[in-house]
Amino acid sequence: MNSETPVMRGNPLTADPRLAGGDQSALARLQEKPANLPVKKITFARFAAQTFRGRYFVLIVLGLIVGAGTGYLGWRMARPVYRSEGLVRIADSLPVVMKETDQNQPIQAFDTFMGSQKTLIMSRRTTDQAVLDPIWAAMSRQPPAAPDKYFADNLVVDIKGRSEFIRIMVTDYDPIAAAAATTAVVNAYAYQYKERELRLKRERAGKLEDSQSELKSRIDELTKSLEATINDYGTTKLEIFYEAQRAKVGKMEYALNDLYGAIATAKPGKSSNQPEKKSENPKSKNLSVDAIARVDLATHNFKSEQERLEDELEKMTDPKQRGLGQEHPEVLRIKSQIESAKKRVEKSAASYREIYSELGSNNGADLLSTSITAGRSIEALQASATNIEAILKKNRDEMVRIGKTMRAADHAEEELKSLQAEYYKLVERQNSLKIEERSMGRLELLSTGDVPISPDRDPRIRMAAVTGVAGLALPWGLFLLTGMVWRKFRYSDEMETDPAAGNSPLLGILPELSETGTDRDEMLAAAHSIHQVRVSLQARSEPGTQTYLITSAAAGEGKTSLTLSLGLSFAVSKQRTLVIDADLVGRHLTAKLDMQGVDGLHEALETGRIESLLQRTDDGLFVLTAGKAAAQHAYAMPASAFRKLLTEARRHFDVILIDSGPILGSVEAAVLAQEVDGVIFAITRGQKQRNVSQAMSRLAALKVKIVGLIFNRAKPEDFRRSPYGSSYRSMSVPPAPQATKTRIEALSAFGPLVNAVDARKPE
């Protein structure tokens, strides 16, 4: 400090008996928690009002200019849109020509079918084919360069429920291009529809032909199988053969039962009353086929089939009728069947002779005309029974075989009839399709795309209105977005409503003072604000020494000037006041007093004593400079030593104000804040709310009591609207007392705020 500055060293203070033991109450106050104040909330409307505040006129003028420009651009950019329509009909049903078929019957799920046609019209295949249509060249238009996007944006297909009509519409800025596009789409769809119908027709005809061929092949196979099945009998009427064989088996069973009865009643070693018959009946070899056919039904049936074939051959070769030659295939076939029939007759007759040989008969060929047991020995009867059992088994097997063959033949005949009926239906179906194909199809083109006369819609007015409103709102939106990203405190009343400022009360606001040219009203307002802050602090304080830490979110927010000004105000009110420069990094208070080489806080922390380290101004304010500390000493400031130093200072002073660095960038500020009674937080106009919010969060994490907020460098109009500036406006403004030259030189380095307080104190 200059040699003329009225500062003197030493300890001129004496202990204040009022503060004896005051350190205990101060320590108790350190444990107090901040008061539970209402949580501040900011709505979007309030946030918008804060952002636009003071800028309404500029925003309105700027919005009108930008809105007029964008509205004009919107009018020029918008173009009228034309729509061309084509109409297609797909008949649900067609008139019946001969009979109802699936070609003329109503389409099943007609709505679903029409929906599929809509999908087909809007498909990539249709649009790709539409751009190749010669209608484009005929109407002197070029097809779209990007057909996918063009038709996706401009093609509309409309189908009403249960309607047979399809509306195909294309919109375009060029009416002729819209008509060309509509016609091209209609033509492409019609081509694909007819191509699909032709393909289905071919597939249908092919399937019918394949089905006919398959059925014909199956019928032929079944016929051959049936002929092979009945080859041994020559006819499909196997019931008569089965009944004949069953009758033969029944007679043999009867004869066998007669033998068993004779064997059971015969006496061993003796013969019956009649002479014993020979083991072989010579008459069996002399039985003719005709004689056997008269008594044996099976032989009779085979003989009848042979005679029928012989009659048919005779008629076939009769020159008077057909007159076929002996080598004709049909004649040869009949002859082959006759030979087979003869073999069947001989086989049946041989079977009968075998039975007759064993059973014998005295009455022609009747097997059961006489008893076969009379006059025969037991041995002969047993031998006959054995032979008859063998013959009976063979005939039973033959009866079973005939039965199975009969059932197989019946099943084959039924299947053959079914296949033949199905075959005839296919032939009839094919004939019907040929007739139906000559009739008119379901697709009918009612109209293709016509050239529209008037636009379908004109968006220019709406576009101009929309772009104009958007341009009008653009400056407001940009300001709002800027406010959201870089929110700053611009007015003092924002301190009381914005959540970034926390729940701390606003102690006062300080007007912005220029370094030069500040008038008396502004000087008086500044001094008045500092004294109001001091009064508010006194009203909130408890008995005993009060210690306050003045800090902020960032550097350069006027903490040093605020601290010294507030110290002067307390000194004027006859309060023993001590100001401590605890900003060991910035040391602005020490530097402005020009006392960088003077012992101060650093040395006091080492010794624990402040008696010889205090500096006193002519205003009665005591100052403890930062001392001979380097910046690195701030990182290791001992909290216990500072607590001891405060205890010593409380014994001599009523108010202790500590100037520290910003809470976010200062280590010592975080340490000291936990040792004082409260923190006074300074916020400068234009400070980012994000920084203030982070600072408040930092203080809350340290569990520090925030006494209040001070809004610094407020605009004069904001200060005059504030209730903190209402009282001084009614005061008369006397001329400022003449300050001494040495005092001005001592405090002029701290700026206009300190000068305003110092100049307005009573003499």
pLDDT digits (tens, 9 = 90+) for 625-644: 888 877 677 677 788 888 88
Out of 233-237, 688-692, 705-709, 755-759, which region has the weakest mean confidence (pLDDT)? 755-759
DSSP assignment letter at 598: S
pLDDT-derived band at 207, boundaries 50, 70, 90:
confident
Answer whether 680's CB lies under 8 Å from 549's CB: yes
Rounded mean pLDDT, 746-760:
62
Helical (H) or strand (E) element with 170: strand 165-172
Q: Burial, 696: exposed, middle or buried (Cβ in 10 Å; 0-12, 13-18, 19+)? A: buried
Mean pLDDT score of the chain, rounded to an integer?
77
What pairing do the DSSP bridges indicate for beta strands 678-684 and 622-624? Answer: unpaired
For residue 5, the model assigns a pLDDT of: 36
Query: Which pLDDT tens digit goes with each residue over 569-618?
Result: 888 888 889 999 888 888 888 888 888 778 888 888 888 788 788 888 77
Helical (H) or strand (E) element with 40: none
Rounded mean pLDDT, 215-223:
81
* Higher-pLDDT residue of 619, 691: 691
For residue 685, the model assigns a pLDDT of: 83
Answer whether 677's CB lies under 8 Å from 706's CB: no
Answer whether 608's CB lies under 8 Å from 644's CB: yes
Of 37, 396, 124, nearest in space to 247 by CA: 396
For residue 119, the model assigns a pLDDT of: 92
Rounded mean pLDDT, 713-719:
72
Separation between Cα atoms, residue 564 and residue 761, nearest integer Å: 14
Answer whether residue 665 shows pLDDT above 70: yes
Query: Which pLDDT tens digit goes with each residue over 79-108?
Result: 899 999 999 998 887 766 556 666 667 888
Q: Burial, 153: exposed, middle or buried (Cβ in 10 Å; 0-12, 13-18, 19+)? A: exposed
Answer whether residue 177 shows pLDDT above 70: yes
**CA pseudo-torsion sign 358, 360, 366, 372:** negative
For residue 302, the model assigns a pLDDT of: 78
For residue 749, the model assigns a pLDDT of: 61
Separation between Cα atoms, residue 460 and residue 725, nearest integer Å: 54
pLDDT-derived band at 761, boundaries 50, 70, 90:
low
Q: Which residues contact 50 (CB under 8 A, 6 or more apart)?
A: 42, 483, 490, 491, 494, 498
Q: Which residues contact 589 (CB under 8 A, 6 or more apart)?
A: 560, 563, 564, 579, 581, 583, 623, 625, 626, 659
Count how many residues are written for the chain.
763
Q: Is 579 helix (H, G, I), strand (E, B) or coil?
A: strand
471-476 LR contacts (CB < 8 Å, sep 24+): 471/63, 471/66, 471/67, 471/68, 471/69, 471/70, 471/71, 472/63, 472/64, 472/66, 472/67, 473/63, 473/67, 474/63, 474/66, 474/67, 474/70, 475/59, 475/62, 475/63, 475/66, 476/52, 476/59, 476/63
**CA pseudo-torsion sign 149, 153, 157, 160:** positive
What pairing do the DSSP bridges indicate for beta strands 546-552 and 655-659? Answer: parallel
Instruction: Work out the angle between the directed axes of helices 22-30 and 639-650 (0-180°, nearest 10).
Output: 130
Cα 458 to the chain's mean position, in Å? 36
Q: Burial, 189: exposed, middle or buried (Cβ in 10 Å; 0-12, 13-18, 19+)? A: buried
Amino acid residing at 694 = Q
Residue 113, token pair as written in the block: 């079918």
* Higher-pLDDT residue of 553, 2: 553
For residue 741, the model assigns a pLDDT of: 40
Out of 282-291, 302-311, 385-394, which region has the weakest mean confidence (pLDDT)? 282-291
pLDDT-derived band at 21, boundaries 50, 70, 90:
very low
For residue 252, the model assigns a pLDDT of: 77
Q: What share of the chain is helix, strand, coil (3-state, %, to 5)?
A: 55, 10, 35
Query: Which pLDDT tens digit goes with each residue over 103-152?
Result: 667 888 888 988 999 999 999 999 999 999 999 999 999 999 899 999 99
For residue 28, the model assigns a pLDDT of: 41
For residue 762, the model assigns a pLDDT of: 58
For residue 151, the model assigns a pLDDT of: 93
pLDDT-derived band at 187, boundaries 50, 70, 90:
very high
pLDDT-derived band at 25, boundaries 50, 70, 90:
very low
pLDDT-derived band at 40, boundaries 50, 70, 90:
low
Pick from 47-56, 323-332, 705-714 the range whose average pLDDT is largest: 705-714
Domains of the chain by range and CATH?
22-42+490-759 (3.40.50.300), 56-78+459-484 (no CATH), 227-436 (no CATH)
Out of 216-225, 280-289, 371-380, 666-675, which region has the weakest mean confidence (pLDDT)? 280-289
Answer whether 570's CB lies under 8 Å from 532's CB: no
For residue 519, the model assigns a pLDDT of: 64
Rounded mean pLDDT, 266-295:
60
For residue 714, the model assigns a pLDDT of: 78
Separation between Cα atoms, residue 557 and residue 684, nearest integer Å: 5
Rounded mean pLDDT, 33-59:
68
Separation between Cα atoms, residue 94 and residue 574, nearest integer Å: 115
Separation between Cα atoms, residue 564 and residue 73, nearest integer Å: 59
Separation between Cα atoms, residue 214 and residue 200, nearest integer Å: 20
pLDDT-derived band at 558, boundaries 50, 70, 90:
confident
- Cα dist from 410 to 106, 230, 606, whole Å: 41, 11, 129
* Higher-pLDDT residue of 549, 315: 549
- Percentage with pLDDT > 70 across the chain: 76
Rg (CA), the chain: 64
Cα 336 to the chain's mean position, in Å? 80
For residue 131, the model assigns a pLDDT of: 93
Pure H helices in 266-328: 289-295, 297-317
For tokens 């109802």, the residue is 100
* Higher-pLDDT residue of 448, 12: 448
Q: Is 722 helix (H, G, I), strand (E, B) or coil?
A: coil
Residues in a beta bridge with 169: 85, 156
Q: Is 678 helix (H, G, I), strand (E, B) or coil?
A: strand
Answer whether residue 377 shows pLDDT above 90: no
